[in-house]
Chain A
Amino acid sequence: MQAVIALCHFCENHGPRVVMTCQPMRDMDLPATSLSPSTSSAPDGPTIPVAQIQRNSELSQRFREGLPLFYGDCRRSVMDTEDRCKACTSFGNGPCLLSNDHPNKTSYISSEIAFHDRVYDRVKSACLRSLSCEVSAPQKNSQQKRRETVSINSQPILISPVNCDIIFERSPDEADGNMIFGDNDNGFCFSHTFRLQDAKARGRLRLFSLNVVSNDLTLLTSHFEFLRRALTTIKEQLQGMASLTYARETSTEIRPEHGSIVCRMAQFRREIAIDTGRNLETITGNDNIWTTLHRQMMWTLRSPILSCHDQVMEGVPTQDMLVMMELDAASIVELELHHPNQHEVSMQQLSNLKQIARKLCDENEIDLDLLIKQVVTGNQVIVESADPSLCRQFLLAVSNLLPIGCLKLSTYKEYYTQESIHRFTLIGGPPNMDIPLDLDDVLVLCIISNGMIYGDENVSLRGCRIQVKRRPALLEKCPQIVGRYKKLLLDSEVVDTVLETTLRSTREFWMGKAKLFYQMQKQISQAGRTELMRFIKGINNEDFDVVSFWQEGLSKAYKDHVLATIEYPDEHSVLG
């Protein structure tokens, strides 16, 4: 959020003063973003006392891990020259508080005044205006209403002549509350003005305001309700602490209502020992008040950013998304699912896939059917090649036909082991691997390179030849999805981007069937296979292998949810 939050106080000695400012600092790719040696000619080194930060073991550990100590330009360009007393001082020019938001590359720094002069000027102007000039809209107060009526009507109603002369007179508390003010020159401000009880203050109250200052009016108006609630919560907490301290300090005093005021004037004069130099720590009786406030202000600034992220993720997650969340990082890298240029990578894979389809179809159309059938039903496909990267690219290309959860990929293994039989469905290896002959449901392919050496990235299968070395028995009828995939891959008019979308939608369509099958299987446990197949529209007997294999691609979260729903049907609704 492009805003800062400031706590301001009307100091009895010095008038309106900014007491604390919480400002986000963002990484703008400036050279001085960390403690690493700066290449800029600007004076290096932050004013933030590093010693204090390093005392915090977690932070220093992160620093050792290579994360920056803070983001953005954290140099102080303004020094506070105003007179201050204890009541209007928080951090002074000394140490301030820092919180880092590493994922968003933002540091939140709470100091007495803002680090940058433009921000400081705006906060100062907002402070003056919020405490001394701007008045919140009148709350719905019957008395107020009546007074205003009198000033308009010539006939007075139920009012003594004493009151009717002074119109628009409002008690100080009525002027407190929320308001938005500002202009393009001085920035805009959402302000919440409030009073804290203090036994030693004049009138036993001190005036404070919490201001959110930003250049963007829309930002303040669109988050009005959020800011109102956040600042009100901070205010109520402060008021609660202050009134406890107040009650403790005044408990032994004689209240002015007791007895004749005139007789006790001298006593009162003694009792009202006004002390203007009490700061927020004393008033609230909380030594950690600045840290608490820093945390609250930081979260007030940070929450809108997080809610933006939430909105991006909104919508029902697909099974692939859920599975990806459940996968460990190593598998994601292995499957090339989280590449910086993910789009390019998947386009390359699809182009390879089309090459494979074309080559196999040219040799023998049944081989393509066989390959797709083997892949989608979870039977083994073994690719042999002297070049591991070719194997890898072949298998990754083929993996686009399956949901992420169904991928059991071993891109290159020197030997075909017993473990491979059970764990993997897509296996790569050197030529002439020793594959047991009793395995009948295996498709063995051999890629013969044209001798050109490629790098790991962007390996194309264009110049290679694919030879089928061993075929499993072909069923009479292929599953429906095989036909669909075949058509898509061989159609030269389907470009890569369209192919990606159509493959994805086909996968999701069949994932839907798999989900349905899984749910029904769990709920009607005694029902047989054919009976279940009958319930689900659009699938035939030949699709059974596909549907049952693809159930493995369902996310753990979904499976748990279904099981929980079956067990406690009232508490859960079925996840879409």
Chain B
Amino acid sequence: MSDNSDVEVEDEEEYKYGLQDDSEPQDTRPTVVLMGQKRSGKTSIRKVVFQKMSPNETMFVESTARITKDTVCSSFINFETIEFPGQMCPFDHTLDPVNTFKKCGALLFIIDAQDDYTDAIRKMADYFAKAYRINSKIKFEVFVHKADGLTEENRVETKFEVYHAVKEELKELGIKDLQVTYHLTSIYDHSIFEAFSKVVQNLVRQLPTLERLLDIFNQGSNVTKSFLFDISSKIYVATDSLPVEMSIYELCCDMIDVTLDISSIYGSGEYGIPFDEHSAAVIKLKKTESWSFYSAKSIDSWHSSRLCAVRTSKSRDISNTTSPVSRRASKKYST
């Protein structure tokens, strides 16, 4: 027992929940750097994922001139995104690249799959090499973006081509042990959220623990799949150890939208907040499965309350059995 308690204490110190303490310097927050050629869709991704912009509206997005920083913080997600305009070299000495990339957690390079990407790949390999030399711990991710315009075969082919071209370029630059992850993305479907989720998960230090906790929860509650979502961005911070089916993830995203929409119409509480820690929702589909959403009442403040999506294989309302939170739920919606 005593051993266990020691471990718990250790864990607590290791994994801090909630918002960063105000006294803690802001610079400790990891950053996700977005790069890419001009008009490859960097700003659109940021707007769709973090600012709820409709994908169609991104056609009217202005060209980004400034190096744009956004801070995203919630219970488990706590990072900063930095977007560099495509026309600028982020490694220009006036922009202090060492400082930027020292605290960089992930480097996202966005490639326009519908365009000629030869130049982009050359530039990307160059940037990756430079960033790698500054900080070898950076996670390198490539979004082969605007995949919606390609056919199913073309997508795989393009990803493959990009993979090989990057490999060649990096080889030429003399960098061998650089791991690059590739994602096919589009803002018109859920692939961008999924890809961004994976990027963000790399930055969540408490991920293994969360996975294990969700596994335990699944086993104990007769649940087949559960996610821990950040409802504002639809990024899932963690899921259980079972593989994620894209269709399930999409279903979850849609249901979050439905829940939030209904909640914003009928669910305003005394503070006018549509979805708070007391809220919960159960959505029953035609098939024999039901989905429940709980606001994960936890940790220290409103910012940390997030959604937990739970799928049960039987048509059973689990809201009375799973957690004390749901019993206190003041609002419940069924559709």
Contact = CB atoms under 8 A, between A and B. Distances in A.
B62 A204 contact: yes
A164 B302 CA distance: 10
Nearest to B96: A133
Contacts of B217: none
Nearest to B63: A202
A132 B85 contact: yes
B87 A167 contact: no
A203 B62 contact: yes
A59 to B, nearest CB: 39
Given A160-B264, A164-B303, A168-B71, A203 B63 contact: yes
A172 B51 contact: no
Contacts of A157: 271
B38 A13 contact: yes
Interface stretch (B3-11, B52-60, B104-112, B325-333): B52-60
Contacts of B71: 166-168
A154 B61 contact: no
A340 to B, nearest CB: 50
Contacts of B74: 165
A12 B63 contact: yes
B163 interface: no
A261 interface: yes
Interface string B88-127: 1000101100000000000000000000000000000000
B275 A161 contact: yes
A14 B37 CA distance: 11
A201 interface: yes
B87 A11 contact: yes
A15 interface: yes
Nearest to A129: B94
A156 interface: yes
Interface residues of A, number: 44
B302 A131 contact: no
A131 B66 contact: yes
Contacts of A265: 56
B315 interface: no
Contacts of B59: 268-269, 272
B274 A161 contact: yes
A156 B232 CA distance: 15
Contact of B232 (A10, A135, A162): A162
A362 to B, nearest CB: 81
A256 B59 CA distance: 11
Given A201-B63, A204-B62, A166 B50 contact: yes
Given A132-B85, A175-B66, A202-B62, A166 B51 contact: yes
Interface of A: 10-16, 125, 128-129, 131-133, 135, 154-162, 164-169, 172, 175, 201-205, 207, 256, 261-262, 265, 268-269, 272
18 contacts: A12-B38, A12-B63, A16-B88, A133-B66, A135-B66, A154-B301, A158-B271, A159-B272, A159-B273, A161-B232, A164-B232, A164-B302, A165-B50, A166-B72, A168-B70, A202-B63, A256-B60, A262-B56
Interface of B: 38-39, 50-52, 54, 56-57, 59-67, 69-74, 85, 87-88, 92, 94-95, 230-233, 260, 264, 271-276, 300-303
Closest 8 CB pairs of A and B: A203-B62, A15-B87, A10-B65, A165-B232, A202-B63, A207-B65, A154-B301, A261-B56
